[in-house]
Amino acid sequence: MRPGTVSLVGAGPGDPELLTVKARRLLDDADVVLYDSLVSEAVRDCVPSSVERIDVGKRGDGERTPQAETNALMVRRARAGDEVVRLKSGDPCVFGRGGEEAEHLAAAGVPFEVVPGVTSAIAGPSLAGVPATHRDHASSLTVVTGHQDPTKAESALDWTALARSVTAGGTLVILMGVGRLPDNVAALREGGVDPETPVAMVERASHPDEFAVTGTLDTIVDRAEDVGIDPPAVTVVGDVVSVRARVSDYLRAAGSARSAGGPDEDSPVSTE
């Protein structure tokens, strides 16, 4: 039997209109879609009812599907001749284990392809009026995961180097860092980043209930706590955040949830 193909597909940040044309075609033509927990319901609803859908992310009881189980399922279904879509939030290779799964499929001799998606590292700030780079504000961009404890000696992230990058005018984007926000802010402060450096956090980017909060390195922890920022959220640190104040009133919103408040306003959708 001729094996099927596994497509490692980026679902984007949540808005189905941000799916690529190829991603949408593959969803239409798939035999089975294996999706992660962060893939939005709106994107999942794009999958035809005739296509089998399997949740390989976090289950309702808090358990997670082991990566080895997902790997084995992809191989088994492809060898059975199915066209498999492995659907991941954002881009499959930006903290999405796409590289690991590609290696596993190659080792198993299973044909596969990678279909890039819109990563929240770029979409989150952009949708809130914060450009990742800007000729007048930032010429470098660093994206890191915020899960790791920066106080641990064995941390894979060099927070001193990250602090130097921000101080030099670069943009730092932290994914999955809501729980570690106070630690990450403290690490940047200890690394010499000016406490007045602008910071923005964007929760549920591209979803109807998206909202953003802005502040400085000195105030962002309190501001995020005041409005109740919850995962998934993107944190962006750097002078580019200052652009938001000049564009947010004119930024066309996909929904009312992206309306920006003024400097002294507090609202559940946007806090300056």
pLDDT digits (tens, 9 = 90+) for 133-184: 999 999 899 999 987 767 766 778 999 999 999 999 999 999 999 999 999 9
Residues 29, 58, 152, 249: which is the catalytic one? 58
Tell me 261's DSSP state. P
- Maximum CA pair distance of the chain? 65
pLDDT-derived band of residue 266, with 50, 70 and 90 as boundaries? very low
Q: How far apart (Å, rounded) are the C-alpha atoms in residues 59 and 57?
A: 6
Contacts of 12 (CB under 8 A, 6+ apart): 18, 19, 20, 23, 43, 89, 90, 117, 118, 123, 206
Closest CA to 174 of 127, 135, 231, 219: 231
Give the pLDDT score at 250.
Answer: 85
Return phi, psi of residue 241, to 5°: -60, -30
End-to-end CA distance of the chain: 59
Contacts of 269 (CB under 8 A, 6+ apart): 209, 210, 211, 256, 257, 258, 259, 261
Residues 15, 88, 176, 183: which is the catalytic one? 176
Token duo for residue 98: 């796409």
58 is known as an active-site residue: yes
Element (H, E) at 198: strand 198-203
Element (H, E) at 84: strand 84-88
Token duo for residue 231: 């995962």
Span 6-115 CATH architecture: 3-Layer(aba) Sandwich (3.40)
Per-residue pLDDT reduced to its tens digit, 3-44: 899 999 999 999 999 999 999 999 999 999 999 999 999 999
Residues 36, 82, 91, 183: which is the catalytic one? 36
Per-residue pLDDT reduced to its tens digit, 55-78: 999 755 567 899 999 999 999 999
Give the pLDDT score at 253.
Answer: 54
Give the CA-trace dihedral at 29, 30, 31, 37, to 10 degrees.
Answer: -150
Give the pLDDT score at 251.
Answer: 83
36 is known as an active-site residue: yes
Distances (CA, A) of 56 to 20, 69, 209: 22, 9, 25
Instruction: Using the predicted structure, report yes or no on whether residue 265 has a pLDDT greater than 50.
Output: no
Domain residue extents for the chain: 6-115, 120-271
More confident call, 53 vs 248: 53
74 is known as an active-site residue: no
Instruction: Using the predicted structure, report yes or no on whether residue 83 has a pLDDT greater than 50.
Output: yes
Q: Class for domain 120-271, per CATH? A: alpha beta
Alpha helices in the chain (DSSP H): 21-29, 41-44, 67-79, 98-107, 120-127, 159-167, 181-190, 220-227, 244-247
Instruction: Using the predicted structure, report yes or no on whether residue 103 has a pLDDT greater than 80.
Output: yes
Contacts of 227 (CB under 8 A, 6+ apart): 211, 213, 266, 268, 271
pLDDT-derived band of residue 252, with 50, 70 and 90 as boundaries? low
